[in-house]
A and B are shown apart, each in its own frame.
Chain A
Amino acid sequence: MFNTTALIASFLFIIFLLVVIKKNLIKPSLIFPVLLFMIILGVVSTNNRFIALFAKLLGIKTGPLAIILALLLVILISCIILGIEVTNMYQRQLAIIRYIAKKELSENALHPK
C-alpha cells in the first residue's frame, strides 16, 4: 500500500515541475530524467515492501537509510549534470565573445578612423 500524503506531495511536485517547464525556466532534457527518477523513488519508497527489498538489495540493514542514500546519489548526479552544463554554457559564452572580438578587430580600422 502507498502513503496518501506522499502521493499528494509527489503529485504537487510533478505539477510544479510541469509549470517550470511550461514557463521555459528549465531545459527539460537536462534535469528532467533525474527529477522524474526522484519522484518515482519518492512514490515507491512509501511502500514498506519496496523499502525492505531495496535495503536487502543494497545490503543495508536499516530500510529508510537505503532510500536516503539512493536519494543522495541522485542529488549528487543532478549537481554534477548541472555543473557540467553551467561550465559548457560559460565556455560557449566566452567562445562567442572571442569570435566576435576576432571579427570586430579584424574588420575595424585603427582609431581614430
Chain B
Amino acid sequence: MSFDKILIFIPTYNDFKDLPEIVRKINQILPKSTLLIIDDGSEQRFRSSKISGVYKYFRVPNNIGIGFCFNIACDYALDHGFDILVRMDADNQHPVDQIPCLISTLAENTDLVIGSRLNHQSNKSLSQFFKNVIKFYYSIVTSAIAKVSISKDVNSGFMALNRTAILAINQFELDRYPEPQINLIASKSRLKIKEIWINQLHRAYGASTINLIEAIKMFYHFHIFILAILLRGTHHVQYDSVDC
C-alpha cells in the first residue's frame, strides 16, 4: 500500500516555543506532508511570524481538550483524502525523525502504530511510579476488554493512523486526554495495532498539563468511556478511498 497524502497533526495549548523547530524539522524530513497545528484555545497569542515553515492553523475558541482537536484533525484528514494521520505533541518531546518509521510500520498491513516511550519509565520519582502503575492498569483493562494485547504505552500521544483507524476513532467524541480511549476504540474495532519504541526527548520549556487533578479526571473519564463503549459498541469500518 502506498501512502501519498500524509497529515501531521500537532495540538497545542499555550505551548508555542518549540513549534518553529518542529515545523522546520517536519518540513525538512517530510516536505510533501501537510502540517496541521490546532491551538486548543490558548490564552497566549500564537505568532505565526515566528514560524518559517508551511502549515495549516486553526484555533478552537475555548480550551476543550486534545480529544476534540483530534476529532477536528480526523475530519480534515477524511474530508481531504489523507491516507495517514500522524499525531505528535507540541513540546518537542516526540522525535520527528521517527515519523518515517511510524509510517513504514503502518504500511505493514497495520491500522494504528503507537510510538511507545522507551525511556518514559526511567525516572525513579514517586509520581512517576504512580504514573507507571496507572499506565499498566490502563493497558491491562484495555487488553481485557478488547481481548487482544495492546501497546504497553497507552498514554503515548505519538502515533500514526490509516484511514480505517481514523474512521473508527472519529465515530467517538474524544476526551481531553484521549490516548487510552484511542487504544480502546482501536482494539475493540479489531484494528491492527503495532508499536515502535522511541526515545522521548527532554522537554525544553514548560511542564505537562497532566497534574494530579487532571490525572484523576482522566482516570474517571476512562472508566465512564469503558461503560459507554460496552453499552454502545463499536462499528467495524472498511477502508474507503476518496478521490480528490
Contact = CB atoms under 8 A, between A and B. Distances in A.
B79 A101 contact: no
B51 interface: yes
B51 A111 contact: yes
Q: How large is the interface on B (under 10, 10 to 19, 20 to 34, 35 or more residues)?
A: 20 to 34
Interface in A56-102: 91, 94, 97-98, 101-102
A24 interface: no
A98 B78 CA distance: 13
A104 B58 contact: yes
Contact of A111 (B38, B57, B71, B79): B57
B136 interface: no
Given A97-B64, A98-B75, A111-B48, A105 B173 contact: no
Interface in B27-52: 34, 36, 38, 48, 51-52
Nearest to B72: A101
Contacts of A104: 58
A29 to B, nearest CB: 26
Contacts of A101: 38, 58, 60, 72, 75-76
B173 to A, nearest CB: 7
A105 B54 contact: no
B56 A105 contact: yes
Contact of A105 (B51, B61, B76): B76
B55 interface: yes
Given A106-B79, A112-B48, A98 B55 contact: no
4 pairs of A and B residues whose beta carbons are closest in the complex: A101-B72, A110-B54, A101-B58, A111-B55
5 contacts: A97-B61, A98-B72, A102-B75, A105-B76, A110-B56
